Amino acid sequence: MTHIDRRDFLKGCTVATLAAGASSHAHAWFAPPDHAPTAATNDTLVVVFLRGAMDGLSLLPPGAGSPYRTDYEAARSSTRIPTSGTGAALTLNGTSWALHPRASGLRTLFNQNRLAFIVAAGQSQPTPVIRSHFDAQANLEFGFGGGTGNNVGWLTRHLASGGLPAVVPLPATSLGNITASSLLGSSDAITMNSASDYRIDGFHWSWEEDDSANGLVGAVTRMHALWNSNATQLESAGMETMASLDLLRPINFGLYNASSNPGGYQPTGGANYELSYNSGFGDQLRNIAQLIKSNLGMRVATIDLGGWDTHVGQGNPANTYDYFGNQVESLSQGLSAFYTDLASASSGNLMARTSVIVVSEFGRRVQENADGGTDHGYGNVMIALGGAVNGGQVYGTFPGLATANLYQGTDVGVTTDYRRIVSEALIRRMGNPNIYYVFPGYSGYAPMGIFQGPDLPPTNYDALFANGFD
């Protein structure tokens, strides 16, 4: 893997320049020509994981004119998304598919041809289907269609084989309490629940202050002195951590406020990340947008939106109680703000080089249960969003909702392997053709036309010539 030497980078330019946020036009890498990537682009891939198994049939139900509508209504009553009256679904350029009424932001992006849905998507795997959240999430993030994975995530393998420049200060970020499994095995990913918390403030207020005239040395300087070599793995990790702190600590990740935080971040285009529900999701999306605007070379970001395990009381938009609708509104408002913010950046439309993939570990059963919810299923809906997405379309082959067409008589089947969708993003947007290395055991890739960009012949990656994971 390309070694990310943030210390050398920081020596070559000032942190203050990098920390200028949205107003900074500094490029994130200054690699000599012999280190230039052979194919890698400077795009960013954002993976949004809906943990808990999102009910795709409630996010994207069959429309009023769909041949699947009758079977859908027969299987669902308390969780049904109506096509007329109170809580009616939003139409999507026709009557075959509709959208949850609280996903108006997603529909706007769909109608602008910047967002696409992929139906009957998921993990292609042998019988029996994996219905464990833990196992299904692990397999998806380790890059396997099914069965068992290992301790290296698919995004880590992408970073290893993607031809990144020799020097990238911030290749990958995992927003959350723990590192996303898709980035496990990577020494290049920074994990943080909130970008504003990625600092050490447990000292006196003057912990950053050096006063050489009076012989005072601040805590940060002393910590740098503790990690002044890479003789051991621990020392190397310490140096990397301090360099990351140096890089991000000067950036003001708080929202702009004229009186209390005049140096804070100001989303552009009227983007509003202050969500009514799951406010942490909005804050983390805002952090990602700010990092992209800061030109730190971020190629990959992961973010979670949990709470989709709706066995009981899923709710209904036609009723007062609509738990699932709260979740959908958070997703829709968050992604809409993210797109607006980056598309209207002062430095240009940054969504032109930002792609978002939304995925969940599996879908829910077609037949609702007696508790007003839905149980673990199989095939689901995925979302692709970006300035280079051929949106306004519903991709994939839907097998139908009649019992005879359901997987094991209960679930929507999987007709599109999730790896096919991600592989197209890696090839066309990220310039990485090594998808058979990123996804071990995967074969037969063919593009679906979801993402714009040049096609490269899909290949494996000869790890003998790589530096390996360190």
Q: Where are the domains of the chain?
A: 6-198+249-465
Strand positions, DSSP E, 316-430: 354-360, 380-386, 394-395, 416-417
Per-residue pLDDT for 167 more than 60? yes
> What is the length of the chain?
470
Residue with tokens 């993210």: 338
Contact criterion met (CB below 8 Å) for 341 and 82: no
Contact criterion met (CB below 8 Å) for 153 and 124: no
Strand positions, DSSP E, 193-326: 300-305
User: Distance (Å, rounded) from C-alpha 230 to C-alpha 238?
Assistant: 9
Per-residue pLDDT for 2 more than 50? no
What does the DSSP 8-state code read for residue 429? T
pLDDT-based confidence at residue 145 (cuts at 50, 70, 90): confident
Per-residue pLDDT for 384 more than 70? yes
Q: Which of 79-93, 234-248, 372-386, 446-460 has the lowest mean pLDDT?
A: 234-248
Q: Who wins on pLDDT, 461 or 288?
A: 288
Give the three-class secondary structure for 116: strand
Q: What is the pLDDT of residue 442?
A: 94
pLDDT-based confidence at residue 205 (cuts at 50, 70, 90): very low
User: Distance (Å, rounded) from C-alpha 49 to C-alpha 179?
Assistant: 13
CA angle, residues 316, 385, 79, in degrees to nearest 5: 10
Q: What is the pLDDT of residue 192?
A: 84
What count of other Cβ atoms lies within 10 Å of the Cβ of residue 27? 11
pLDDT-based confidence at residue 166 (cuts at 50, 70, 90): confident
Closest to 191 (Cα-Cα) out of 123, 309, 287: 287
Q: Who wins on pLDDT, 395 or 128?
A: 395
pLDDT average, residue stretch 444-468: 83
Q: What is the pLDDT of residue 381?
A: 98
Q: Could you give the dihedral angle defined by the CA atoms of residues 65, 70, 75 and 81, in that order, rounded to the nearest 10 degrees?
A: 30
pLDDT average, residue stretch 210-234: 62
| Type of residue found at 135 | D
The mean pLDDT of the chain is 85
Segment 306-343, tens digit of pLDDT: 999 999 999 999 999 999 999 999 999 999 999 999 99
Q: Please spell the DSSP secondary structure of 125-151, one letter per residue.
A: -PSSPP--HHHHHHHHHHT-SSS---S
Contact criterion met (CB below 8 Å) for 182 and 303: no
Per-residue pLDDT for 122 more than 60? yes
pLDDT average, residue stretch 235-247: 60
Contact criterion met (CB below 8 Å) for 466 and 1: yes
pLDDT average, residue stretch 65-82: 97
User: Distance (Å, rounded) from C-alpha 436 to C-alpha 439?
Assistant: 5
pLDDT average, residue stretch 95-109: 97
CA angle, residues 319, 133, 150, in degrees to nearest 5: 155
Q: What is the pLDDT of residue 128?
A: 76
Q: What is the pLDDT of residue 172?
A: 94
User: Distance (Å, rounded) from C-alpha 452 to C-alpha 169?
Assistant: 27
User: Distance (Å, rounded) from C-alpha 291 to C-alpha 301?
Assistant: 10
Strand positions, DSSP E, 255-306: 300-305
User: Distance (Å, rounded) from C-alpha 181 to C-alpha 125?
Assistant: 20
Q: Which of 14-23, 127-136, 355-364, 460-469 has the lowest mean pLDDT?
A: 14-23
What count of other Cβ atoms lies within 10 Å of the Cβ of residue 468? 8
Q: Which of 237-246, 254-263, 384-393, 437-446 has the lowest mean pLDDT?
A: 237-246
